[in-house]
Amino acid sequence: MKRSYFLSKEKLGSQDSLPLDEVIENLAFNEQGLIPVITQNARTKQVLMMAWMNREALTRTLNSGRMTYWSRSRQEYWVKGETSGNTQALVQLSFDCDGDAVLCLVESAGPACHTGREHCFYLNVNADGQTVSLTDLT
């Protein structure tokens, strides 16, 4: 992890700026060249999904404004909504304090989840601490 880069910058404030290329260069992509991406609805603040980007997917997302992930199961770029129509338009992209995660605020044109649910985190541990219930399909 190239944490020293981010550590050296953490006292900067909104009056300073860093070159985007330099920040990307120092991100902690994992051994598969991937970084986890959290996608959040910009309006409702609901966390929609978590997926992965490689450096190229990150660049494509920033340049196109359309959320573009790396599909680990299909081993290909995945422009969200390209087949389903449920696209995600990028509103704001942010990196975290040690450069090992990305947060994207998006405008979502439909459900984020392939099941048709608004978001993917629909398996909820119940108060009994023993069981899990699912959010209903809409």
3-state secondary structure 51-120: EEECHHHHHHHHHHCECEEEECCCCEEEECCCCCCCCEEEEEEEECCCCCCEEEEEEECCCCCCCCCCCC
Interacting residues with a second copy between 15 and 54 (CB under 8 A): 16-20, 23, 36, 38, 40, 44-47, 49-50
Q: Minimal distance in Å, beta carbon 123 to a second copy?
A: 4
Task: In angstroms, give the least distance from the CB of 10 to a second copy.
Answer: 5
Is residue 28 within 8 A of residue 35, CB to CB? The reply is yes
Is 93 a binding residue for a second copy by CB under 8 A? The answer is yes
Chain contacts with a second copy (rule: CB under 8 A): 1, 3, 6, 9-14, 16-20, 23, 36, 38, 40, 44-47, 49-50, 62-63, 73, 92-101, 103, 113-115, 117, 120-126, 129-137
